[in-house]
Amino acid sequence: MAQSIHTFKVNGLDGGVIDFADFAGKKVLIVNVASACGYTPQYAQLQELYTHFGHKLVVAGFPCNDFGAQESGDAGEIRQFCALRYGVTFPLSEKVRIKGAEPHPVYAWLTQKTLNGHSDSSVSWNFQKYLINEAGQLQAVFPPSCDPLDPAVLAALEA
């Protein structure tokens, strides 16, 4: 059986640790985020999902500068931008690498079927979404252009 997302711990943007084991029993929507992207307004919808479905969903943002150098800020700048512009309260990891020979371990797991047991994928741009089920297994992948409140995402949250 594939490893579970619940085995991962990541450094948080604010210096703490995000332990995915704490999210067992909830769905998790993992999104690579950036502050200067055409999709950046999706932060508002991600926050809306987190607020509305918080009893059964965690949104986890992974700031990344790999796509168009659209997340050039440091941790303080990213946190301030997210809080002031979009009221973000969901967990944000430290800035990570997704592309290249050594992607962040969470993204290695998300994108390799041999690790996640679901499917191979590649992150095409900022705001690609990975939905993890309550048991910690990859359930669905949504492209960056798919709004967080798209009916397909909402249906997957209810599945």
**Span 37-89, pLDDT tens digits:** 999 999 999 999 999 999 999 999 999 999 999 999 999 999 999 999 999 99
DSSP 8-state secondary structure symbol assigned to residue 117:
S
Q: Which of 130, 127, 138 is nearest to 44 (CA)?
A: 127
- Residues 6+ away with beta carbon under 8 Å from 113: 119, 120
C-alpha pair distances (Å), 47 with each of 85, 107, 122: 11, 21, 24
Query: According to the model, what pLDDT value does residue 6 have?
Result: 97
Query: According to the model, what pLDDT value does residue 2 have?
Result: 61
Is residue 5 within 8 Å of 19, Cβ to Cβ? no
Active-site positions read 37
Residue 17 pLDDT exceeds 70: yes
**pLDDT tens figures, 129-153:** 999 999 999 999 999 999 999 999 9
Dihedral Cα 74, 88, 144, 121, nearest 10 deg: 70
| Domains of the chain and any CATH numbers | 5-158 (3.40.30.10)
